[in-house]
């Protein structure tokens, strides 16, 4: 079941009448020497950690989930959509609160699943749990989504990058969003082709996003970009499930993202030497936190 690209993955799916998660599951069993049941249990453990991180950020005292710059934002969104007219609607607002929550747990050194990276750890949990709750899906369906997302992540990792230091934030939040978009399509019964269209749309929407963490900490703009990656994944999945196709095929989008990453100056690839990291406020925060310019 070897594949290096989306087109190869789709041909395996079509030739064998399989879903993307079937292929991902077979490959995971082979590479880990685990049984299907063991892989399922392992994925379930990851999903449990994701759910716990969402709950922790929303339940705990702000003090316990605070980094240097963020903390308490997840609860603010929750309070807002529960007590006001939500601009985005309850589903999207809930997803935003979940993404922020996981990032708050991350900055407080809590337990998260770095999927695909710690900086983008809020996107998949937020999307998976929101869709699970909205459509009353069972855990098996969520695990199928998670496996589907892993196949997308593998292709992006092989042909472009999943690292902000290498490809900018498009490679972290963009990839997480593309992975999550495919998961939603799978969870809601879409086809493998639709899953990759959703991934392509999500990745295109965040193409060129630079990595510019204030004070070199994975807090700002990272937390709010997780919220954007989450919303973007759901928007992309909605389009793909409605039958909208990405005009540029998934594989070409991935290659383009990788090329854009290489074109980005070093200052915009996690060095904190550009973007919002070097704004007057960004510099002031760095000085406040570390006492250096
Ligand atoms: S800005 Fe950089 S460190 Fe922050 S999430 Fe994006 S890639 Fe990660």
Reported as a single tens digit per residue, the pLDDT across 248-280 is: 999 999 999 999 999 999 999 999 999 999 999
Token pair recorded at residue 107: 């900055």
Distance 199 CA to ligand 1 centre (A): 19
Token pair recorded at residue 214: 């204030």
Assessment of whether the complete model's pTM goes beyond 0.85: yes
State the virtual CA torsion across 73, 75, 80, 82 in degrees, nearest 10: 160
Collapsing DSSP to helix, strand or coil, 65 comes out as helix
Asked if residue 198 has its Cβ within 6 Å of ligand 1, the reply is: no
Token pair recorded at residue 159: 């042909």
Q: Provide, rounded to the nearest whole percent, the portion of the chain with pLDDT above 70.
A: 99
Token pair recorded at residue 134: 């909205």
Q: What pLDDT digit, counting tens, does each position of 110-124 carry? A: 999 999 999 999 999
Token pair recorded at residue 70: 């963020």
Distance CA 27, CA 21 (A): 10
Token pair recorded at residue 60: 């705990």
Nearest to 209, CA basis, from 266, 149, 257, 140: 257
Q: For position 293, what pLDDT does the model report?
A: 61
Asked if residue 219 has its Cβ within 6 Å of ligand 1, the reply is: no
Alpha helices in 1-117 (DSSP H): 6-16, 20-32, 36-59, 73-83, 90-107
The stretch 39-66 carries a mean pLDDT of 95
Half-sphere exposure of 282 (CA within 13 A, CB side): 17
Nearest to 226, CA basis, from 46, 57, 68: 57
The stretch 170-196 carries a mean pLDDT of 98
Nearest to 74, CA basis, from 126, 115, 124: 126
DSSP assigned state of 72 = S
Region of residue 152 (phi > 0: left; psi between -120 and 50: alpha; otherwise: beta): alpha
Q: For position 62, what pLDDT does the model report?
A: 87
Task: Determine contact, residues 113/121, Cβ cutoff 8 Å.
Answer: yes
Query: In a mutational test of the pocket of ligand 1, which residue from 112, 119, 156, 268 has the highest number of ligand atoms less than 8 Å from its CB?
Result: 119
Q: What pLDDT digit, counting tens, does each position of 121-159 carry? A: 999 999 999 999 999 999 999 999 999 999 999 999 999
Task: Determine contact, residues 125/53, Cβ cutoff 8 Å.
Answer: yes
Collapsing DSSP to helix, strand or coil, 156 comes out as helix
What CATH code is assigned to 6-290? 1.10.4100
Q: Quick check: bond before 221 cis, omega within 30? A: yes
What residue ranges do the domains of the chain occupy? 6-290
Distance 117 CA to ligand 1 centre (A): 9
Asked if residue 218 has its Cβ within 6 Å of ligand 1, the reply is: yes
Distance CA 91, CA 97 (A): 10
The ligand 1 atom nearest the CA atom of 169: 7
Distance CA 229, CA 202 (A): 8
Concatenated DSSP letters for 86-153?
-SS-HHHHHHHHHHHHHHHHHHTT-----SS-STTTTHHHHHHHHHHHHTT--HHHHHHHHHHHHHHH
Distance 144 CA to ligand 1 centre (A): 27
């Amino acid at each position: 079941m070897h594949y290096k690209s989306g087109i190869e993955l789709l041909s395996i799916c079509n030739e064998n009448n399989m879903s993307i998660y079937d292929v991902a599951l077979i490959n995971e069993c082979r590479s880990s020497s685990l049984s299907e049941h063991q892989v399922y249990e392992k994925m379930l453990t990851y999903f449990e950690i994701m759910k716990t991180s969402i709950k922790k950020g929303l339940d705990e005292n702000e003090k316990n989930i605070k980094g240097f710059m963020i903390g308490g934002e997840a609860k603010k969104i929750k309070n807002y959509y529960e007590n006001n007219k939500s601009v985005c609607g309850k589903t999207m607002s809930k997803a935003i609160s979940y993404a922020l929550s996981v990032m708050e747990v991350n900055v407080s050194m809590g337990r998260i699943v770095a999927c695909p990276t710690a900086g983008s750890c809020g996107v998949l949990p937020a999307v998976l749990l929101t869709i699970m709750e909205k459509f009353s899906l069972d855990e098996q369906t969520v695990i199928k989504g998670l496996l589907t997302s892993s196949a997308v992540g593998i292709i992006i990792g092989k042909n472009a990058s999943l690292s902000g230091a290498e490809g900018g934030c498009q490679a972290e939040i963009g990839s997480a969003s593309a992975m999550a978009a495919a998961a939603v399509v799978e969870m809601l019964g879409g086809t493998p082709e639709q899953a990759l269209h959703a991934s392509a749309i999500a990745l295109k929407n965040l193409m060129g996003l630079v990595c510019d963490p204030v004070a070199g900490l994975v807090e700002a703009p990272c937390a709010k970009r997780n919220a954007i990656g989450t919303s973007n994944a759901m928007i992309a999945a909605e389009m793909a499930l409605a039958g909208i196709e990405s005009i540029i095929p998934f594989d070409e989008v991935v290659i383009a993202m990788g090329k854009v990453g290489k074109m980005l100056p070093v200052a915009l690839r996690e060095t904190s030497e550009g973007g919002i990291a070097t704004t007057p406020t960004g510099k002031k925060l760095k000085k406040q936190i570390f006492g250096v310019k």
